[in-house]
């Protein structure tokens, strides 16, 4: 054994006396055999040191200090650019507990199989110990995680995405064993040896063979959604794939809304939207752009906390028009992954402002010109940016209790059928609308993009237990709410016969949000259809929108024939979840089918 390995396992420099934490790190170090163990403190000095190390090793490429101060580019292995849902497992003791929505492995088998891969996996490498906190410091809802990783890229991204270092160790204290045990190793990035395994009953995550976002930044999808949704069911709360925004109305009253959309369907844009001139009396602020932890407050209202500290947003399509606030977020201190680089050390991606530069280096590091046949940036290229860079960050972003929610929105990416906006008749019908949501797949996960799949509540890849039980959990929440927020279904992506989007989206979605909040406040009526409540003609503010009344009608209309097909196609999901599907959800569907057939 090299001298330094012996020194490493002693952990004399560990900044904690917590015996449970020390013992676990020791055990994992024995398994993975790193040459060195480095405990991360989250300090600026550490960031500078690790960044320099990453640059020296070619893991990060410095960008122009004038154009992008403090920013770096990372190029992933081309095999490792999106979440791999088929290699993601929920390893509950029984297969039933994980549900038909998850891949399952027996925990014993998973520990053994991955244990073999982890054995000696950090030889010649450094093991970084990342203590991190999901949720604001001092919040009773926050969770401590420890991620052990061999990747400096992961450390530097976790530093942006979570509250990392001392604050997490202080929250954990000297004796508690209540922390998520995350073990991560990039190994050789071979997809054949890639597994992302969750052990919800052990509050443990083992991820191997990938350095990519949701596979490797364990605080995000693995802890804050898969493990947290499991804990939420046990503890009576919800972990959701939802943005949280604040909307101050022209009278100065503040409302908060959560909205679930699948990956790469515009959550970051909606959370940072700039209202159009016609609605300039409104002011939007961001609390979170991806994940929401929802609890029932003492006042019987639903309260939301964003467990994250930064944004891991999709780069392509982001520009000064579609999302000026995101563009401000990435002006400094951001990490870009798989975008293109300009000659003068700036970044570029498809859909950025202006014409494509005449020459670029593409996301793989090859020369690129506008004539090239492949995109310059990977369609799932990302930016990691501190939330404190956001010019419209909500003042409550660090509040330990979170914010009270006035409305819940579910939305998919659908070219047909689903109207611009529809309100559910009641909570159970709203849960049904979320549960049966369909969406076209995107580049955020490996596999074919553009295929409509059921993505219940945008949680298909992220629910850490049986999806039927999850719907049941949602239904049960209502009884504990004094004021259940109204639930809405939206669709910004409907297309006309010409194949073009019917609705301009982005900031114009403020018009839909204004209606949603007016409905929540009870200050506007609605038209009742067999499927839900929709705006009456004239209710939606379309001033200055530049659409004809016919176009607005097309975007908002409900075609019962299309919905007949839609309800039929939900049958597959219902069959899959048959064992645990709550009767209330099944009956909602039957009721709708019966009504449509009438
Ligand atoms: O890659 S992530 O899972 O972090 C982002 C996403 O797919 O939503
Ligand atoms: Mn997401």
Mean pLDDT of the chain: 96
Ligand that comes closest to the CA of residue 441: 1
The answer to whether the beta carbons of residues 267 and 259 sit under 8 Å apart is yes
Distance 351 CA to ligand 1 centre (A): 20
Sequence-separated (6 or more) residues with CB below 8 Å from residue 379 = 316, 350, 443, 449
- % of the chain residues with pLDDT over 70: 98
Domain at 240-308+397-597, CATH class = alpha beta
Please, which pLDDT band fits residue 10 given cuts at 50, 70 and 90?
Answer: low
CA atoms within 13 A on the CB side of 266: 21
| Domain 310-389 listed as CATH 3.40.50.620 | no
Determine the atom of ligand 1 nearest the C-alpha atom of 82.
1
Average pLDDT over residues 447-463: 96
The answer to whether the beta carbons of residues 255 and 520 sit under 8 Å apart is yes
Q: Residue 3 has what pLDDT?
A: 44
Ligand that comes closest to the CA of residue 217: 1
| pLDDT, tens digit, 9 for 90 and up, residues 179-193 | 999 999 999 999 999
- CA nearest ligand 1 atom 8, residue: 263
Q: Residue 289 has what pLDDT?
A: 98
Closest CA to 15 of 34, 37, 39: 39
Strands (E), 356-406: 360-361, 367-368, 382-386, 403-404
- CA nearest ligand 1 atom 3, residue: 214
| pLDDT, tens digit, 9 for 90 and up, residues 516-566 | 999 999 999 999 999 999 999 999 999 999 999 999 999 999 999 999 999
Which of 76, 83, 207, 310 maximizes ligand 1 atoms within 8 Å of its Cβ, making it the mutation to test the pocket?
83
Q: Where are the domains positioned within the chain? A: 5-59+83-236, 240-308+397-597, 310-389
Find the residues whose C-beta lies inside 6 A of ligand 1: 83, 213-214, 220-221, 263, 312, 444
Q: Residue 13 has what pLDDT?
A: 85
Helix axes 583-597, 427-435, angle to 10 degrees: 90
Please, which pLDDT band fits residue 597 given cuts at 50, 70 and 90?
Answer: confident
The answer to whether the beta carbons of residues 431 and 511 sit under 8 Å apart is no
Round the CA-based radius of gyration of the chain to a whole number and report it: 24
Q: Residue 6 has what pLDDT?
A: 43
Catalytic residue selected from 71, 185, 222, 265: 265
Ligand that comes closest to the CA of residue 291: 2
The Cα 245–Cα 158 span in angstroms is 23
Distance 217 CA to ligand 1 centre (A): 10
pLDDT of 238 over the 70 cut: yes
pLDDT of 61 over the 70 cut: yes
Distance 290 CA to ligand 2 centre (A): 5
Which of 444, 457, 460, 461 maximizes ligand 1 atoms within 8 Å of its Cβ, making it the mutation to test the pocket?
444
40 classed as catalytic: no
Please, which pLDDT band fits residue 7 given cuts at 50, 70 and 90?
Answer: very low
The Cα 283–Cα 523 span in angstroms is 19
pLDDT of 55 over the 50 cut: yes
pLDDT of 4 over the 60 cut: no
Burial (Cβ within 10 Å: 0-12, 13-18, ≥19) of residue 202: middle
Ligand that comes closest to the CA of residue 383: 1
Distance 319 CA to ligand 2 centre (A): 20
Q: What are phi and psi of 121, to 5 degrees?
A: -65, -20
Average pLDDT over residues 254-281: 97
- CA nearest ligand 1 atom 1, residue: 214
| pLDDT, tens digit, 9 for 90 and up, residues 477-519 | 999 999 999 999 999 999 999 999 999 999 999 999 999 999 9
Average pLDDT over residues 200-208: 98
Q: Residue 225 has what pLDDT?
A: 98
Determine the atom of ligand 1 nearest the C-alpha atom of 217.
4
Average pLDDT over residues 406-418: 97
The answer to whether the beta carbons of residues 128 and 40 sit under 8 Å apart is yes
Distance 513 CA to ligand 1 centre (A): 25
Q: Which CATH fold topology does 5-59+83-236 show?
A: Phosphoenolpyruvate Carboxykinase; domain 1 (3.40.449)
- % of the chain residues with pLDDT over 90: 97
- CA nearest ligand 1 atom 5, residue: 214
Determine the atom of ligand 1 nearest the C-alpha atom of 444.
7
- CA nearest ligand 1 atom 4, residue: 214
Q: Residue 44 has what pLDDT?
A: 97
Q: Residue 8 has what pLDDT?
A: 47
Distance 308 CA to ligand 2 centre (A): 12
DSSP, collapsed to helix, strand or coil, labels residue 364 as coil
pLDDT of 1 over the 60 cut: no
Determine the atom of ligand 1 nearest the C-alpha atom of 263.
8
- CA nearest ligand 1 atom 2, residue: 214
The Cα 178–Cα 117 span in angstroms is 26
Distance 445 CA to ligand 1 centre (A): 8
């Amino acid at each position: 054994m090299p001298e330094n390995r012996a020194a490493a396992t002693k952990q004399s420099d560990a900044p904690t006396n917590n015996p449970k934490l020390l013992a676990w790190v020791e055990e994992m170090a024995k398994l993975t055999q790193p040459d060195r163990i480095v405990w991360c403190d989250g300090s600026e000095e550490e960031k500078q040191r690790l960044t320099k190390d990453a640059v020296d090793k070619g893991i990060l490429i410095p960008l122009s200090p004038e154009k992008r101060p403090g920013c770096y580019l990372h190029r992933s292995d081309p095999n490792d650019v999106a979440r791999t849902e088929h290699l993601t497992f929920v390893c509950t003791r029984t297969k039933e507990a994980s549900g038909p929505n998850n891949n399952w492995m027996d925990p014993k088998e998973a520990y053994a199989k991955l244990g073999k891969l982890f054995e000696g996996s950090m030889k010649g490498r450094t093991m970084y110990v990342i203590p991190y906190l999901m949720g604001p410091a001092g919040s009773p809802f926050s969770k401590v995680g420890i991620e052990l990783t061999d990747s400096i890229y992961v450390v530097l991204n976790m530093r942006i995405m979570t509250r990392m270092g001392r604050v997490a160790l202080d929250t954990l204290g000297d004796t508690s064993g209540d922390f998520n045990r995350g073990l991560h190793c990039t190994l050789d990035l071979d997809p054949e040896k890639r597994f992302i395994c969750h052990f919800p009953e052990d509050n443990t995550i083992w991820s191997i063979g990938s350095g990519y976002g949701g596979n490797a930044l364990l605080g995000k999808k693995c802890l804050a959604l898969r493990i947290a949704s499991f804990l939420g069911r046990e503890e009576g709360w919800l972990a959701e794939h939802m943005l949280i925004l604040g909307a101050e109305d022209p009278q100065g009253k503040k409302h908060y809304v959560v909205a679930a959309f699948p990956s790469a369907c515009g959550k970051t844009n909606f959370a940072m939207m700039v209202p159009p001139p016609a609605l300039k009396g409104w002011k939007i602020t961001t609390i979170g752009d991806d994940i929401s932890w929802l609890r029932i407050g003492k006042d019987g209202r639903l309260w939301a906390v964003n467990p994250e500290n930064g944004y891991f947003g999709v780069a392509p399509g982001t520009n000064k028009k579609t999302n000026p606030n995101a563009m401000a977020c990435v002006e400094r201190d951001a990490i870009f992954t798989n975008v293109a680089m300009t000659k003068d050390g700036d970044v570029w991606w498809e859909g950025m402002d202006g014409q494509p530069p005449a020459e670029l280096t593409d996301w793989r590091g090859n020369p690129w010109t506008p004539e090239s046949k492949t995109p310059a940036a990977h369609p799932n290229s990302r930016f990691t940016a501190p939330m404190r860079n956001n010019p419209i960050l909500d003042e409550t972003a660090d509040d330990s209790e979170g914010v009270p929610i006035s409305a819940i929105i579910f939305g998919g990416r659908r070219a047909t059928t689903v109207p611009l906006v529809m309100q559910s008749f009641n909570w159970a019908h709203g849960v049904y609308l979320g549960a049966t949501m369909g969406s076209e797949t995107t580049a955020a996960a490996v596999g074919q993009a553009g295929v409509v799949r059921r993505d219940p509540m945008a949680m298909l890849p992220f629910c850490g237990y049986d999806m039927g039980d999850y719907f049941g959990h949602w239904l049960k929440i209502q009884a504990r709410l004094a004021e259940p927020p109204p639930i809405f279904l939206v669709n910004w992506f409907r297309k006309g016969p010409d194949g073009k989007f019917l609705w301009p989206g982005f900031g114009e979605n403020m018009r839909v949000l204004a209606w949603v909040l007016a409905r929540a406040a009870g200050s506007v009526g609605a038209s009742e259809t067999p499927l839900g409540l929709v705006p009456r003609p004239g209710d939606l503010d379309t001033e200055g929108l530049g659409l004809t009344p016919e176009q607005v009608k097309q975007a908002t209309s409900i075609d019962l024939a299309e919905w007949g097909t839609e309800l039929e196609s939900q049958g597959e999901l219902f069959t899959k979840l048959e064992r645990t599907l709550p009767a209330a959800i099944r009956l909602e569907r039957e009721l709708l089918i019966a009504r449509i057939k009438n």
